[in-house]
Amino acid sequence: MKAAEAGASGAAAVGPGAEAQGIAPIAENDDQKQKQRVGKEKEEEATAPVPDKVQVGGMPEYFVERKLGKGGFGQVYVGRRAVVSKMKDGPGANYVALKFEHRSSKGCNYGPPYEWSVYNSLGGVHGIPKVHYKGRQGDWYIMVMDMLGPSLWDVWNQSGQVMSQEMVACIGVEALSILKELHSKGYVHGDVKPENFLLGQPGSLQEKRLYLVDLGLATRWKDPVCGTHVEYDQRPDVFRGTVRYASVHAHLGRTASRRDDLESLAYTLLFLLKGRLPWQGYQGDNKGYLVCKKKMATSGEMLCRYTPPAFRQFTESVVNLKFDEEPKYETLMRLFEPLCGPAPQRPILIEGVKVGQKRMREPDDALDDSGPRKKIRLGLPATQWITVYNAHRPMKQRYHYNVANTRVEQHVEKGNDDGLYISSVACCQELWALIMDAGTGFSAQVYNLSNQFLPKEWIMEKWEEGFYITGMAGSMTGSSLVVMSKGTPYTQQSYKVSDSFPFKWINKKWKEGFYVTSMATSHTRWAVVMSRNAGFVDQCVELDFQYPSEGIHRRWDAGFRITACAATPDQSAFVISVPRRRPMDETQETLRTSAFPSSHVKEKWAKNLYIAGIAYGRTVS
């Protein structure tokens, strides 16, 4: 422990507040409960049985017969018309499907199920069953639909857990044509999986038709009035969907868009074809985290090994779609069409790509799986230095790297003597990196090298003296380097150490006026410092299993700048903020390098760009 010589006062106006909760390290479990489906709780067991007879919304009376299926929200039964009808389908058909949702279920807290509103605004979509009546009877919300046949999961399961290549290819083509139309109405489905694809009723004319049901998680990707794309956001604590088939973006809490349905379709097709996905079998509280990590680590080539090339092309193409990119549905359908077999023998009827219709062709027909196009899902995982550079008027900045514990003191002393303070720190293989410069605005600084992550007693002591944490780093073995300074604008500070990224806590503190001002990792643990009066007016977090390039670019475009970064061997997190006072020059650049970027730093200095943040950890090569 060592106090910098440079004295002077001018610290915080209000005494530092050490929040008890902020100080006690809290284990992961309470902040990473995996929610399989938001609001879809298995509550039916506790509720009353469905009625024997139903009549809602002016429909004829129906007897409730055998159960057709059950999902996260609803239970679906066969309804048989009390007064026999000759009609095979449509309103008043002899048999219908009745979807029951209990009044007390999560989806119905504020009145009728959310799904109803989606059906209302959709109108008819090819491949989505028609809803004929809806209404409430007693404690049940009841939706009356065309009765369909088994789900693809049922078919797969009943046929020995295998499905032919022709069948899966047909499903691919037809599913794409349904999703294309659903998307054209401004909606994404949000829960594409074998259980939500149904065939027509056995023995009927629709027997070989494919349908998509369950709009309970559907969201708009397009504004119904202005027609603009919804805005990008990431809420790492929000997961909607089904773990096995969810897109990586859905796992990471990103706003759903068209690409997510197609990524889930890729996993659905591969599940049906191969009978298994590489991320099955994880259990426990952080199942979602492990599944997402595995999805990221599984290349298209690995996932689609021993399947026809179409599947790999499809998968690679859809996982690399940008947030607001329009998928090339027709081009993707054309990948599967040759595998569907001759029309009369096809197990599923496909509309397919309308031949001879040139205008149906999409601009730039090819799926660029190579070339200069920036991929969203990048290559192999890598551990790298991440450096962030900000424009600054010319100033003195120094960096030291590969610094052993015993050498920290001499570098810091030398820097302090030259009027420099530590502005950021990082750690790579038990060796520290120190950035010192003249642009910090600090008036005094102390640091602590400790074998704890983080040294609570010392921090509390320094808080009492008016210092605030302004930089920190942790090593793989749990030691840490914490830097605390005077002369910051902060008026209160709080920190949390956690086994998973503590987004919930951050969210809570945001509401109390705190903003993230420092972040560090120690192996897989995170430490986050949040301060009041941090000089920001808005802040968000990009968290990913790779460098979240797309998210960062989108935030940059919206006026955000990276203000903190840290990475574990698995994940990297970037805190991105809007400063209260916009800098004259808003230039910000990031670099990822396998070695410490000494020569790059010098090049940046020559352009008046200075290191503003540094971390070592998971990116992608």
Q: How far apart are CA 537 and CA 533, in angstroms?
A: 10
**292 part of the interface to ligand ADP, by CB under 6 A:** no
- Span near ligand ADP by CB under 6 A; candidates 54-62, 193-201, 378-386, 534-542: 193-201
- Span near Mg ion by CB under 5 A; candidates 159-167, 196-204, 247-255, 423-431: 196-204
Q: How many residues bind ligand ADP (CB under 6 A)?
A: 22
Q: How far is the CB of 116 from ligand ADP (least distance, A)?
A: 12
**76 part of the interface to ligand ADP, by CB under 6 A:** yes
Taking alpha carbons only, the member of 203, 198, 220 closest to residue 121 is 220
Binding residue for ligand ADP, selected from 148, 179, 188, 270, defined by CB under 6 A? 148
- Span near ligand ADP by CB under 6 A; candidates 1-9, 142-150, 165-173, 533-541: 142-150
Q: Pick the closer one to ligand ADP by CB: 212 or 291.
A: 212
Edge-to-edge strands of the sheet including 431-437?
A: 397-403, 431-437, 421-428
Point out which residues pair with 76 in neighbouring strands.
69, 99
- Span near ligand ADP by CB under 6 A; candidates 177-185, 191-199, 299-307, 466-474: 191-199
Q: Pick the closer one to ligand ADP by CB: 67 or 373.
A: 67
Residue nearest to ligand ADP (CB): 71
Q: Which of ligand ADP, Mg ion, none does residue 73 bind (CB under 5 to 8 Å by kind)?
A: ligand ADP
User: Within 13 Å of residue 51, how many CA atoms lie on the same side as its CB?
Assistant: 20
Are β-strands 140-146 and 197-199 bridged in parallel, bridged antiparallel, or unpaired? unpaired
Query: Which H helix or E strand runs over 506?
Result: helix 503-511
**446 part of the interface to ligand ADP, by CB under 6 A:** no
Tell me phi and psi for residue 470, to 5 degrees: -125, -5
- Give how far Cα 197 sits from Cα of 76, 174, 212, 339, Å: 14, 11, 5, 20
Q: How far apart are CA 31 and CA 50, in angstroms?
A: 36
Q: How far apart are CA 217 and CA 246, in angstroms?
A: 12
**71 part of the interface to ligand ADP, by CB under 6 A:** yes
**Helix boundaries (H) for 104-164:** 114-122, 152-158
Taking alpha carbons only, the member of 135, 154, 264 closest to residue 199 is 154
Q: Pick the closer one to ligand ADP by CB: 128 or 562.
A: 128
Q: Which of ligand ADP, Mg ion, none does residue 68 bind (CB under 5 to 8 Å by kind)?
A: ligand ADP
Query: Which H helix or E strand runs over 550?
Result: helix 549-557
**151 part of the interface to ligand ADP, by CB under 6 A:** yes
**70 part of the interface to ligand ADP, by CB under 6 A:** yes
Taking alpha carbons only, the member of 103, 100, 134 closest to residue 119 is 134
- Span near ligand ADP by CB under 6 A; candidates 26-34, 192-200, 334-342, 531-539: 192-200
Q: How far is the CB of 32 from ligand ADP (least distance, A)?
A: 24
Q: Pick the closer one to ligand ADP by CB: 69 or 347.
A: 69
Point out which residues pair with 424 in neighbouring strands.
435
**79 part of the interface to ligand ADP, by CB under 6 A:** no
- Span near ligand ADP by CB under 6 A; candidates 67-75, 79-87, 506-514, 563-571: 67-75
Q: Which of Mg ion, ligand ADP, none does residue 74 bind (CB under 5 to 8 Å by kind)?
A: ligand ADP
**216 part of the interface to ligand ADP, by CB under 6 A:** yes
Quick check: helix, strand or coil at residue 274?
helix
**69 part of the interface to ligand ADP, by CB under 6 A:** yes
**71 part of the interface to Mg ion, by CB under 5 A:** yes
Site string for ligand ADP, 85-104 (x = CB under 6 A): ------------x-x-----
Q: How far apart are CA 559 and CA 537, in angstroms?
A: 11
Are β-strands 444-450 and 2-3 bridged in parallel, bridged antiparallel, or unpaired? antiparallel
**497 part of the interface to ligand ADP, by CB under 6 A:** no
**68 part of the interface to ligand ADP, by CB under 6 A:** yes
Q: How far is the CB of 68 from ligand ADP (least distance, A)?
A: 4
Q: How far is the CB of 195 from Mg ion (least distance, A)?
A: 5
Binding residue for ligand ADP, selected from 174, 195, 237, 544, defined by CB under 6 A? 195
Q: Which of ligand ADP, Mg ion, none does residue 350 bind (CB under 5 to 8 Å by kind)?
A: none
Q: How far apart are CA 232 and CA 262, in angstroms?
A: 18
| DSSP letter string, 100-120 | EEETTSGGGTTSS-HHHHHHH
**214 part of the interface to ligand ADP, by CB under 6 A:** yes
Check if the beta carbon of residue 256 is closer than 8 Å to that of residue 240: yes
Q: How far is the CB of 49 from ligand ADP (least distance, A)?
A: 17
Q: What is the DSSP letter of 293?
A: H
Check if the beta carbon of residue 285 is closer than 8 Å to that of residue 34: yes
Binding residue for Mg ion, selected from 101, 181, 214, 263, defined by CB under 5 A? 214
Residue partners of 159: CB distance under 8 A and separation at least 6: none
Q: How far is the CB of 97 from ligand ADP (least distance, A)?
A: 3
- For the chain, the helix, strand and coil percentages under 3-state DSSP, each to the nearest 5: 25, 30, 45
Q: Pick the closer one to ligand ADP by CB: 97 or 265.
A: 97
Quick check: helix, strand or coil at residue 213?
coil
b/e code 345-365 from CB counts within 10 Å (16+ = b): ebbbbbbbbeeeeeeeeeeee
Q: Which of ligand ADP, Mg ion, none does residue 222 bind (CB under 5 to 8 Å by kind)?
A: none
Q: How far is the CB of 211 from ligand ADP (least distance, A)?
A: 8
Q: How far apart are CA 38 and CA 30, in angstroms?
A: 17
191 is catalytic: yes
Q: Which of 191, 214, 437, 570 is catalytic?
A: 191
- Which active-site residues does the annotation give? 191
Binding site for Mg ion (CB under 5 A): 71, 196, 214
Binding site for ligand ADP (CB under 6 A): 68-74, 76, 97, 99, 129, 145-148, 151, 195-196, 198, 213-214, 216
